[in-house]
Amino acid sequence: MDQQIENFLLQISIANTQSEHTQQSYSLDLKKFKEFCLREGIDHFEEVDRNFILNYIAYLRKECLLKTSSIARHLSCLRSFYHFLRECGVMQKDPFVKVSAGKKSQKIPEFLYAEEMDELLDSIPLDTKENIRNRALFELMYACGLRVSEAKDLKLQDVDFHEQMIRVVGKGSKERIVPFHDEAKEILEMYCREVRKYWCSDDVKEVFVNQRGKPLTSRGIQYLLDKVVNESPLRMHVHPHMFRHSFATHLLDNGADLRIVQELLGHKNLSTTQVYTHISQKKIIDTYNHALARAKKRKNE
């Protein structure tokens, strides 16, 4: 069993079809599944059938207390693993036929209102090299709806300053072209001209680097964001993905077509993008209730 897991992880690593984080999650998920198999007297993965998978889902929900979204991630991993086993000739039947984790509740993404985003970005002064880098980084993440992984992996060759476009390599190595506005261009050019060229050598391809000339990491970007937020007037927790959520929400709030937002975000399915329409509807209701409460207060006065 261990050898089959190792072979599968090696295969997806060589194929480079999943991120390093996903590969680590797959390893943990398969270890948990193997332990459950052994606990239930299953010594070979090929002995697993649909009923066993349903029992495993019940185990994840009742004993591990996992949410539906986490169970769905487990099943996604196992589907890929059993697809690999069938390709290797180990399995003949698919034990995942008509198996699902159950109805998944839709979580409304966290975002910043346009005024809050302006307040956050404007709070970064352009007085030091580090601040210029931070301002360029977060301006671009918001202007282009970048994931933190996309921001850290962005290469200088993928930035077209003349056309004001960047080429983004997203999940599953899917590429998309995203424009950026004049202010983002101005600050990004300032960073490249006044900071980056002094911090790193020409052989470094990534756009955003630290003071030692090394590319930023995802954890490093989170650290920088925490520092920026602490020094800003905002009194709330802000995580990097909120730039992407805010980008999509503000586009829809200002009349952008859902299909265009889908393309800019690099979503494969429109249903993934539609979650942002719920944010816009919620904003309308919140604004209405807030205005009505103010009207009632004036009337009572």
| Catalytic-residue membership of 276 | yes
Work out the angle at residue 284's Cα, subtended by the Cα atoms of residues 106 and 237, and round it to the nearest 5 degrees: 60
| Catalytic-residue membership of 79 | no
Q: Which of 152, 196, 250, 267 is catalytic?
A: 267
| Catalytic-residue membership of 267 | yes
Nearest to 205 by CA among 163, 173, 164, 159: 159
3-state secondary structure 183-213: HHHHHHHHHHHHHHHHHCCCCCCECCECCCC
The answer to whether the CB of 56 falls within 8 A of the CB of 11 is: no
User: What are the backbone angles phi and psi of residue 231, rounded to the nearest 5°?
Assistant: -95, 0
d(CA 19, CA 172): 8
Nearest to 7 by CA among 115, 90, 101, 76: 90
| Catalytic-residue membership of 268 | no
Q: Which of 82, 142, 191, 276 is catalytic?
A: 276
Q: Which of 147, 152, 196, 245 is catalytic?
A: 147
Nearest to 260 by CA among 243, 278, 273: 273
| Catalytic-residue membership of 147 | yes
User: What are the backbone angles phi and psi of residue 273, rounded to the nearest 5°?
Assistant: -75, -30
Q: Which of 152, 244, 245, 250 is catalytic?
A: 244
**Structure tokens belonging to residue 17:** 């079809």
**Structure tokens belonging to residue 260:** 């265009």
Q: Which of 32, 129, 171, 283 is catalytic?
A: 171
CA distances from 171 to 87, 127, 179, 207, 265 (A): 24, 35, 19, 19, 11
Angle, in degrees to the nearest 10, between helices 241-253 and 275-300? 70
**Structure tokens belonging to residue 135:** 């301002």
| Catalytic-residue membership of 171 | yes
Residues with a catalytic annotation lie at 147, 171, 241, 244, 267, 276
